[in-house]
Amino acid sequence: MAELSVGESGSPSAKSPATSGTWRRLWSPFAGRPLAIASLVILVVFVLVGIFAPWLAPFDPMEKNFGPDGRLDRLATPSFSHLFGTTLYARDVFSQIIVGTRTALIVGVITAVAMTVIGLNVGLVAGYFGGWVDSLLMRMTDVVFGVPILPFAIVALSLLEPSTWGIIALMSALFWPITARVVRAQVLSLRERPFIDAARISGAGHMRILYKHIAPNVMPQAFIHGVFGVAWAITTEASINFLGFGDPFTMSWGTIIYDVFTSMVSYTAWWWFLPPGLCIILVVTAAYFIGQAFEEIANPRLKAR
């Protein structure tokens, strides 16, 4: 989605580098917005569950559960002992969801950080130096931007060893162009600003100007796309796993849906099929709302009137 609105965002605030009131500035997107606050709560819960997953899961997610007759308690509907029922091999779905939360957290956060670091630096350097550096970096950006992410990822993963790190690396390598474009656009206008000239005159080097004076001003935009990146990463990882190209030993929401599908019960075992999808929706929607709230602060024209 954000790909589609990239062209419109990007009018940087005219203020000079941030100095004070950081907390107030961070809170401002949420002030008076119940949806954004709800999203924040969801994300905080998501992060906490992810961190404390091993202590929260009532069962080992791979442990098989047996009924009183000594047989596997397979495909059990939700009950008090198994909140989300059990899988085909009688594993506790609720525990799988909890452990999958940690995977989603790791995948989302690391991909977002990696794409932001790459995109931010490419955008900064391209926008600041201009000329052939800009041309080269932006053509590179354009090329990577044109890669169809999901098909490319499954071809690459099928040929390499399937691993969650591989998925994270691939997504990071493909997501950064969006950040790079937005950052560059802002840097282009920032570098003409008086305070940059002032810094230059006072003898600051390129590095200092780039990272001390310009970077703080483009951080909000990079951050917003990082938040969107969390959402894209979680959805993309789930899609890759659904097609069976992920690491079978990692428990993630995508692999849970894939398990239901390959167990041939996705049309019937709703207790197993619905929770992972709903979790994805919750977290991804929350990330979108928060990203949007920040975007509206950075670019007031987008605010709904």
User: Please, which of residues 162-221 interact with other proteins by CB under 8 A?
Assistant: none
Closest approach, Cβ 31 to other proteins, in A, equals 18
Q: Which of 122, 257, 293, 297 binds other proteins (CB under 8 A)?
A: 257
Give yes or no for residue 110 binding other proteins (CB under 8 A): yes
Closest approach, Cβ 243 to other proteins, in A, equals 6
CA distance 30 to 17: 22
The residues, ordered by sequence, that sit 6+ positions from 46 with a Cβ below 8 Å of its Cβ are: 101, 104, 105, 282, 283, 286
Q: Which of 37, 65, 78, 145 binds other proteins (CB under 8 A)?
A: 145
Stretch touching other proteins by CB under 8 A, among 21-29, 78-86, 222-230, 234-242: 234-242
Closest approach, Cβ 198 to other proteins, in A, equals 27
Q: Which of 10, 12, 29, 61 binds other proteins (CB under 8 A)?
A: 61
| Cβ(211)–Cβ(120) below 8 Å | no
- In the bound state with other proteins, the residue whose beta carbon lies nearer, of 23 and 69, is 69
Give yes or no for residue 129 binding other proteins (CB under 8 A): no
DSSP character at residue 20: S
Q: Which of 42, 47, 156, 219 binds other proteins (CB under 8 A)?
A: 156
Q: Which of 18, 44, 133, 155 binds other proteins (CB under 8 A)?
A: 155
Binding-residue total with other proteins (CB under 8 A): 82
3-state secondary structure string across 100-140: HHHHHHHHHHHHHHHHHHHHHHHHHHHHHHCHHHHHHHHHH
The residues, ordered by sequence, that sit 6+ positions from 144 with a Cβ below 8 Å of its Cβ are: 173, 174, 176, 177
| Cβ(33)–Cβ(40) below 8 Å | no
CA distance 12 to 299: 8
CA distance between the termini of the chain: 21
- In the bound state with other proteins, the residue whose beta carbon lies nearer, of 27 and 249, is 249
- In the bound state with other proteins, the residue whose beta carbon lies nearer, of 122 and 215, is 122
Give yes or no for residue 52 binding other proteins (CB under 8 A): no
Rg (CA), the chain: 22
Stretch touching other proteins by CB under 8 A, among 15-23, 155-163, 177-185, 214-222: 155-163
The two tokens of residue 205 are 């080097």
Whole-Å CA distances, 288 to 92, 231, 280: 30, 7, 12
Q: Which of 36, 40, 49, 53 binds other proteins (CB under 8 A)?
A: 53
Of 78-107, binders to other proteins (CB under 8 A) are: 88-89, 99, 102-103, 106
Binding-site string for other proteins from residue 5 to residue 44, where x marks contact by CB under 8 A and - marks none? x-xx--------------------------x---------
Closest approach, Cβ 220 to other proteins, in A, equals 19
Query: Exposed, middle or buried by CB within 10 Å (0-12, 13-18, 19+), for 170?
Result: buried
